[in-house]
Amino acid sequence: MFFLNKSDLDKKFKILRVNLQSLGISEELRGWSWQNPPVEPPSRNMFFGVGDLAARYCKTLRDIYLKKVENIKPPPNLKMFEGIVYHGVATDAVTKVKSILFEKGLIGGADIVEELMPRVANACERLTWDALNTVGRLEDKDIETVKKKARSFYRFLLVQAASQVNLILTKFPHIDVDSLVNQAIPPIVERKVDGSLVGLSKELSADVYTPAYAVADLKTGEVRDFHPYAPTGYALAIEADEETAVNFGMIIYIRLSAQRPVPTIHTKCFLIGDELRREFLEIRDEAFEIVANARDPGKPAVCPDYCPYYPVCTGQFK
């Protein structure tokens, strides 16, 4: 995306390509091997979202049992709310910048800012209420804090996009609008993927970093060791659906603070190797077994209080 340092990412992926040549990825663990174990799903009649499997807050997968068997939704959660809002801001900002360029033509960054900045407050208001409809009611003070950070994030994205547009226009004085959008707004694009061949949802939305063909995932919460599972699931789905190799993953951590005018951004790039693929597929297969048999796997020895289902399992929410 335009707010990432392409030169820095290229260096990271160059190192990962060396690792890929050294370690390789087993053919049997590619998504296009969907008709054979271990990639073949246990059933062709049950599908999971990547997030259902990848968000391993609960080590025993009881969250999947509660959601899929007991039909219990997690209670309203501030972290979940923030994640939905900030993801919405990133998508909305990119869409609006592209739209204004196609509408107005070859305009400069200052014109983009002038056109879109007055719309930020209304956009964040809409995105906030859309998120509340998904998550549920929260404290008013928390909602206002998230709105404030969302507006700051949106403005940051517009300025970054405007700067990138200016750089491209300066470098290529005879560029057309379509090329300008492709040069300035990528390299991350959302694409729809059918993951049903590997037991995942039929309409997944994956962010793909096109220069290295890496799957990216945006995170606004704390760093967790299970975060690489999401790009792994998307990689398997893309390989099955398109028969295109996806070797690399990327987690983009965005930290937003009401006291800071701009976010802090950290990017983790990694090889989607055999170990990650096996672990994701093992989670998928266990989830299938739990749901198919309506088996409550029980609580783990230690329940992390940041798990969305923590209030349910501890009896605080019924």
- Span 1-27, pLDDT tens digits: 667 877 888 899 999 999 999 999 999
In the block, tokens 């919405």 appear at 88
- Residue ranges of the chain with per-residue pLDDT less than 70: 1-2, 186-189, 318
pLDDT at 98: 93
Q: Tell me whether residue 317 is in a domain.
A: no
Q: Tell me whether residue 249 is in a domain.
A: yes
Q: Of 19, 158, 145, nearest to 97 (Cα)? A: 158
pLDDT at 1: 61
pLDDT at 2: 65
- Residues, the chain, total? 318
Q: Tell me whether residue 113 is in a domain.
A: yes
How many folded domains does the chain comprise? 1
- For residues 74 and 67, what is the distance between their CA atoms, to the nearest angstrom? 8
Angle at 12 between CA 207 and CA 198, to 5 degrees: 40
pLDDT at 189: 66
- For residues 200 and 12, what is the distance between their CA atoms, to the nearest angstrom? 29
3-state secondary structure of 118: helix
pLDDT at 130: 93
Q: Which helix (H) or strand (E) holds 190?
A: strand 188-193
Q: Tell me whether residue 125 is in a domain.
A: yes
pLDDT at 13: 92
The domain in which residue 149 lies consists of: 6-295
Strand partners, 193: 204
Q: Tell me whether residue 303 is in a domain.
A: no
pLDDT at 318: 59
Q: Tell me whether residue 131 is in a domain.
A: yes
Residues 295, 312, 135, 253: is their CA dihedral positive or negative? negative
Burial of residue 136, with CB atoms counted within 10 A of its CB: 0-12 exposed, 13-18 middle, 19 or more buried:
middle
Lateral strand order in the sheet of 214-219: 188-193, 204-209, 214-219, 248-255, 264-271
pLDDT at 185: 83
